Amino acid sequence: MRASDAAAGHTESVELGSAVSLFSGAGGLDLGLESAGFRTTVAVEWDADAADTMEKNAGAYFPGLREVLRADLYPLATGRAGGVTAEEILRVGGFGAGERPDVLVGGPPCVAFSKSGFWLDWKRDGVDPAASLLQAYTAVLAQARPRFFMLENVYALTFNNKASRPAFVRLRNEIRAAGYDHRWAVLNAADYGVPQSRPRLFVVGARRGERLPELPTATHHGDWERRKTGGGPRPHVTTGEALAGLVTEPEPEEIVRGRWGHLLEEVPPGDNYLHFTARRGHAEPVFEWRSRFWSFLLKLDPSRPSPTIQAQPGPNVGPFHWENRRLRVPELKRLFTFPDQFELVGKRTSVQSQMGNAVPPLLAERVAAGLVAQM
């Protein structure tokens, strides 16, 4: 197997262990673990297109994958019957009686805590039942007893509000109760070489008594919204650098429609709907200052990383390409650091969702390097 030696900046051959993947999506976390040297033996994913994507790429990118379990993990969180069990997951992964995986990895769906949805009362109040999918993860953790674990989620889970704080406290208490020490941090993907400013929460841990993995140190630095990030020696990788030399074909879905789509051509690269406000000196203002979400009519700047790419953007929600169109699928893969030859299954809306929900594989690899150091 191959494991990244992040400190030395090269890869070397090393024998590592097996990984069990929950909420696998299109496999961003798993691609990162594979690059670090682990082998995903079983994945659990409910979405049909995402499961098809994992299966389609198994031979080339997940050589140890025995099966994608198309199963609902929600009953595990509630104690109800009818869903997949931890025992079944381990059996399908090839683990015999008493055998344990080296790593449990997963990113439970984050709809209850997503920053983009806090304008909804039901999200601020924390009543979304999807929040309990965190408990599905900790239930498998307690029963599967892997040596290490890696959990990813939206960074808004760390916010001090009615929805996030109780859920995050509960999650950490359940991790401790399962017999694990852990540490957590919010990592911006751009600070680790990904051409996208995408802050995500990572929690890593080890069975009590094992050495606790370290989280990675930033390798890049730059701006994110109105703040500085990182501190690493290298500047952020830009969208212009990431997309350089990429040859793509036009896609029918790339045309920007909607009520305001015709305004996109006037937006300068890196700007958004605020270009059409009186405060910016527009001769014929269209919008009030800060009356829309920041990504409304947002256009990429080739000299900076991409802003966060969403899973389900509205008709006039970016980021859009500086050529005044939606991003094409090969461009999405580049901005997420998925391999160019990685195949995504489904219609364009499904592909957007799979990408927008994915962890950039390069970021996952950097985090997995901390597990490698303890192996």
57-111: pLDDT as tens digits: 999 999 999 999 999 898 888 877 778 999 999 999 999 999 999 999 999 987 6
Give the confidence band of 263 by pLDDT, cuts at 50, 70, 90.
very high
Query: Could you tell me whether strands 148-154 and 199-207 are parallel, antiparallel, or unpaired per DSSP bridges?
Result: antiparallel
Find where tokens 């029963």 sit.
143
Q: What is the DSSP letter of 304?
A: S
Q: What are phi and psi of 148, to 5 degrees?
A: -130, 165
Q: Which of 4-13, 41-50, 272-281 has the lowest mean pLDDT?
A: 4-13
Residues 6+ apart with CB under 8 A from 280: 274
From-to residues of CATH 3.40.50.150 in the chain: 2-236+357-372
One-letter amino acid of 227: R
Q: Report pTM.
A: 0.91
Output the furthest CA–CA distance in the chain (Å, rounded). Answer: 72
DSSP state of 218: P
**Cα 351 off chain centre by:** 14
3-state secondary structure of 124: helix
DSSP string, 247-300: -----GGGS--STTGGGGGGSPTT--GGGGSGGGT-SS--S-TT-S-TTBT-B-
CA 18 from centroid of its chain's CA atoms:
21
List pLDDT tens digits, range 99-128: 999 999 999 987 655 544 444 443 444 444
What would the CATH number be for the domain defined by 2-236+357-372? 3.40.50.150
| Residue 130 confidence (pLDDT) above 60 | no
d(CA 118, CA 100): 39
- H helices present in the chain, as ranges: 28-36, 48-56, 58-61, 74-78, 86-92, 121-124, 133-144, 164-177, 239-243, 329-336, 348-356, 361-372
- Measure the CA–CA gap between 319 and 146, rounded to whole angstroms: 39
Q: How confident is the model at residue 4 (pLDDT cuts 50, 70, 90)?
A: very low
Does the pLDDT of residue 14 top 90, yes or no? no
Catalytic residue among 104, 110, 134, 203: 110
Sequence-ordered list of residues with C-beta below 8 angstroms from that of 98, at least 6 positions apart, any chain: none
Residues 311-370 have pLDDT tens digits of 999 999 999 999 999 999 999 999 999 999 999 999 999 999 999 999 999 999 999 999
351 is a catalytic site residue: no
- Residues contacting residue 244 through CB under 8 Å, at least 6 positions apart: none
Measured in degrees and rounded to the nearest 5, phi and psi for residue 212 equal -80, 130
Q: What is the pLDDT of residue 291?
A: 97
